[in-house]
Structure 1
Amino acid sequence: MKKVVVALFVAVLALGLAACGQKKDYEIGLVTDVGTINDKSFNQGAWEGVEQYAEEHKISYKYYQPDTKSTEDYVKSIEVAIKNGAKIVVTPGFLFENAIWLVQDKYPAVKFIILDGAPHNVTDFGAIAPGDETTIDGDTTGKNANFEIGANVYSIFYSEEQSGFLAGYAAVKEGFTKLGFMGGMSVPAVVRFGYGFVQGANYAASQMTGVTVTIKYEYLNSFAPDAAHQTKAASWYTSGTEVIFVAAGGAGNSVMKAAEGIAGKYVIGVDVDQKAESDRVITSAMKELKSSVYNALDEIYNNRQYNSNNQVITTNGKSVTLDASVGGIGLPQDFSRFSKFTKAMYDVIFAEVAAGSITIVNDHKLPVTSLVVPKVTLDVTE
């Protein structure tokens, strides 16, 4: 009898250990750009979209954080996600463009969603020689450049110029006439935010009598918090700047600290609603990251098919640009920190932008000083 009990105990224990050792698959994976899913910015917005869709549809999901901000480690994290069962991998940000180009053909059964970018193998756009299209691995002829979007890639861009336009418009309608723009780096998305901001301020001023606007305009060459950014922002504020639009990721927190130290100074956040970060954030120029990821996942799941090996079949890759007409950008619906600019005013200007009745220049290759903005005086630091 004792032998039977012992045998049963050993069998149960073995089953228990086997169950504990079973590898759990996570069907949706998100790889951060080194930051965390609580960064109050790009990673968090994308993660919230994954989380909402997965929870609603009872799908397993997990996020992965690379060791370094490098293509090599992005690829490693993507491959870890795939080994853990990911059929869809979400990558938030243009820093993943080279990584997605490397994995899209290697893993044809996996669907990749990349935000703010599209796959390519160009590693240094800044080294482009005059007249050449691209540079890669020292080639200045552009012959080796490849911008092919794999059949399993869903590339999502946003009309940042429209979001920036709405922020600039709201600021001037609120009564601010001394504005600032601090961009992280002069990458296309950030440039479009800034150009839109300038044009929105000009458009609002043109609707008002006797109003002209001054905008200090500079790139910080950084997306990270830094005491130097706080010092710079404080100097802008003390010299008269009333509100600064910071399209610079985590560097925005440094500007918020500067605003908090001086009475009557404000910040416009970026990418997501950053109101909770500081009571000086009056609004944010948002990309609807959460809803765009949610909708992309929904589209993939509703249209996917499987072959006999239970692999996902995709018919073609795609790249989309989400604008106001599809709710891809906008300001938060909370206008409580404004005293003059109202939701009714916002709804009117948003409808005009969505309808395309306002021309907003978005060519990031043009210098900001080339914008036709007669109601704005630009103070640009190159």
Structure 2
Amino acid sequence: MRSTPRLTSKVSIDMDRRTFIKGTGIAGITGLAGCTGGPSEGGDGGSESTTTESSGSEETTSESTETSTSSDVNVGMVYALGGLGDKSFNDAAQRGVVQAEEEFGISYNEAQPSSAEEFPQFQRQFAQSGNYDLVCCIGFAQQSALNNTAPNFPDQDFMLVDAVVETDNVANYLFREEEGSFQVGHLAGLLTTQDFSAGEGSTNPDEMTVGFVGGVDVPLIRKFQAGYEAGIAEANSDIEVLTAYTGSFSDPTAAKEAALSMYDQGADIIYHASGASGVGVFQAAQEQGRYAIGVDSDQSQTEPSYQDVILASMVKRVDTAVYESVENVVNGEYEGGSTVTLGLEQEGVACVYGQSLGSEISSDVKSSLDASAEAIISGDIDVPTSVE
């Protein structure tokens, strides 16, 4: 047990691919999710802040398989703003803890803050109870609160996604979002220069224009934009990229308005990194007969109503980060003070083709994406992490 908080130097870990892949489990190789969260039971996705005992949502409980082991580990989940039901970032995190519940017999409670001011409240609430072996803090916006909370509860283990708190009771997980975004940008760049028609959409190669819709304008989301733009340039440096930020991860109306404006200006493919706002981009794509690219989860699965316009998704395996962190606690192998970084090489991010439209994308385009992925992994392509 720790008697005093101790600052440690950050340990950077590129998780071994075999270790990482075993965590995909229930989510599968393509089933992952999004960007916003506070405490509520299971996964009914409300934004209202409540605290309830839970071992999973009704849906996941009814589909649970027999656990391979039985553990008395108890986990607290503090989600990002936007909450469950975003079919992206938070839902991916929940899939990870549900997988751990099914495989290890752990129990968990959930918190869905309705504002950033509630992050420290829920972090402390879990820590003060003394009942939790691990508190999972989902999203970069929790970094500031956890910088204060973690040192005040040195005997409480935490994990943090998308940011780093350098104390020995926080295990940090980062992703190379720019690498996966490069891949979907490369796809968009190749298709916008071609006469492509499938599902409910089509491209206009005479325009050679694509778009990007972000949520909150912060450095993390700029990584998505930077990688996307670099991938587009890999295909053709003459392609115009339109960009907009909605200022929220839970405002589909704003995202739809931004996307409609881009489609009106000639864009035929738009990539969003805006959490639950992104459904607005999909709606606009259907209305305009154009295409969209999802984020965090395979959104052609999580948003099946829009399969006919979702070319691909940049999946970010937040579920595996949560699962692995819980597994480490179950096995007595928790690594506080470490930072695990997951990119293309570790299959922490990937371009996953849409369930309906993926088969319509040519083998030449797919081969080009395979080649650029290998070049990124080998270091022949250096993907930027910020926008110029």
Matched, 1:340 2:340: no
Give 1:172's aligned residue. 189
Matched, 1:239 2:284: no
Matched, 1:163 2:163: no
State the aligned residue count. 298
For residues 65-214 of structure 1, the aligned pairs below 5 Å read 65-66=112-113, 68-71=114-117, 73-82=118-127, 83=129, 85-119=131-165, 149-176=166-193, 177-205=208-236, 212-214=238-240
Amino acid at match of 2:297: V
Q: Secondary structure at the match of 1:203?
A: helix
Deviations 1:290-349 (Å, cap 9, x if unpaired)?
Answer: 122222322343344xxxxxxxxx775122321112111112255641433445544333
Structure 1 residue 34 displacement after superposition? 4.2
Q: Secondary structure at the match of 2:106?
A: coil
Structure 1 residue 220 displacement after superposition? 2.6
Amino acid at match of 2:111: Y
Give 1:30's aligned residue. 77
Taking only the aligned residue pairs, the percentage that are identical comes to 28
Give 1:292's aligned residue. 321
The one of 110, 123, 129 equivalent to 1:63 is 110
The one of 250, 255, 271 equivalent to 2:296 is 271
8 Å CA contact 1:29, 1:61 repeated in 2: yes
Structure 1 residue 85 displacement after superposition? 1.6
Amino acid at match of 1:221: G
Amino acid at match of 1:285: M
Give 1:281's aligned residue. 310
Give 2:343's aligned residue. 323
Q: Secondary structure at the match of 1:331?
A: strand
Quick one: distance in 1 between partners of 2:183 and 2:335?
37
Deviations 1:79-134 (Å, cap 9, x if unpaired)?
Answer: 33342721101111011112211221222222111111123xxxxxxxxxxxxxxx
Quick one: distance in 1 between partners of 2:131 and 2:147?
20
Structure 1 residue 224 displacement after superposition? 2.3
Quick one: distance in 2 between partners of 1:179 and 1:216?
6
Structure 1 residue 200 displacement after superposition? 0.4
Quick one: distance in 2 between partners of 1:153 and 1:260?
43
Quick one: distance in 2 between partners of 1:350 and 1:155?
25
TM-score normalised to structure 2 length: 0.70
Deviations 1:1-37 (Å, cap 9, x if unpaired)?
Answer: xxxxxxxxxxxxxxxxxxxxx9998711111124333
Quick one: distance in 2 between partners of 1:48 and 1:302?
20
Matched, 1:218 2:244: yes
Distance 1:228 1:333, change over 3 A: closer
Q: Secondary structure at the match of 1:284?
A: strand
Structure 1 residue 175 displacement after superposition? 3.9
Quick one: distance in 2 between partners of 1:241 and 1:105?
48
Distance 1:228 1:28, change over 3 A: closer
8 Å CA contact 2:311, 2:353 repeated in 1: no
Looking at both structures, which has the greater relative contact order when contacts are Cα pairs under 8 Å and sequence separation is at least 6? Answer: 2
Give 1:135's aligned residue. none
Structure 1 residue 246 displacement after superposition? 1.1
Quick one: distance in 1 between partners of 2:152 and 2:234?
48
Q: Secondary structure at the match of 2:110?
A: strand
Q: Secondary structure at the match of 2:131?
A: coil
Quick one: distance in 2 between partners of 1:329 and 1:228?
27
Quick one: distance in 2 between partners of 1:23 and 1:204?
48
Give 2:27's aligned residue. none
Quick one: distance in 1 between partners of 2:172 and 2:111?
20
Amino acid at match of 1:267: A
Tell me which moved more, 338-347 or 93-102: 338-347
